[in-house]
Amino acid sequence: MATAPTEPLSLLPRPDWALFLDIDGTLIDHADHPEGVDIPTDLPDLLAQLQLALDGAVALVSGRTIDWMDRRFAPTRLAASGQHGAEVRLAPDAPSVPIPLPRWRKPLEQALDEVLSTWPGVYVEHKPLSLAVHFRAVPQFGEAIMDRVIQLGMGIDGGVEFLKGKYVIEVRQAGRNKGTAVAELMNSALFTGRRPVFLGDDVTDEDGFRAVRAAGGLALAVGPRPTDQADFRLASPSEVRRWLTDLPKALERVDS
């Protein structure tokens, strides 16, 4: 694991930054159930302030759907990528563009519902273009659950990709991830020419870390999970929000 400071005290924000923000475990704390998360009341306003300070160059990059983001962070609306790169919105007022429905999506959904129903405490999150199997309530069965999900998926279609996260295994279309989402956003009008900065907490964010560092940007890890991709580290979502709250004023000092 690469050495990273506890928090980026020495990191001065620049007006040419482009912020890419994971949600769960980064902006907000994890919950036992995906819909049980608590959205701080001031978070939508904070995101709007960041958007204004960086001339719009702020994007949410998450396993959540873009529709979920719009509902939970209303009235703030940002550029975004959802479902691990399966859908992208290049600007707040642009349409969300999804990939075609994967062939494996419906048959795997049905198989998972049937097989995992025998495991109390396991929740299958049905997203339009991907699936997530959560087992935070029964972590002792995690390895067995993930093995079964992989077995089912590989038996249906070779185009399935699996990503093991914190008490969850994500099932997504191969070739799409948070890194491809960052690359697509960086080629759009709002973000091109800027220095990308990605904040994330889980293994699903490693692709985003690699993408921004390859573009000369910065990766900020959140929480204690080991990673060799982080330039800096923040301890928790609450610390992330405090750090982000200070960014607009810090940018004003840089400009003055």
Cα of 6 vs its chain's centroid, Å: 21
Q: How far apart are CA 8 and CA 232, in angstroms?
A: 6
Contact 130, 172 (CB under 8 A): yes
The encoded tokens of residue 13 equal: 């924000």
Residues tagged active-site: 22
Alpha-carbon distance 31 to 137, whole Å? 10
Strands 17-21 and 195-200: parallel
Beta carbons within 10 angstroms of residue 55's beta carbon: 12
Distances (CA, A) of 226 to 1, 229, 230: 6, 9, 9
Q: What are phi and psi of 197, to 5 degrees?
A: -130, 120
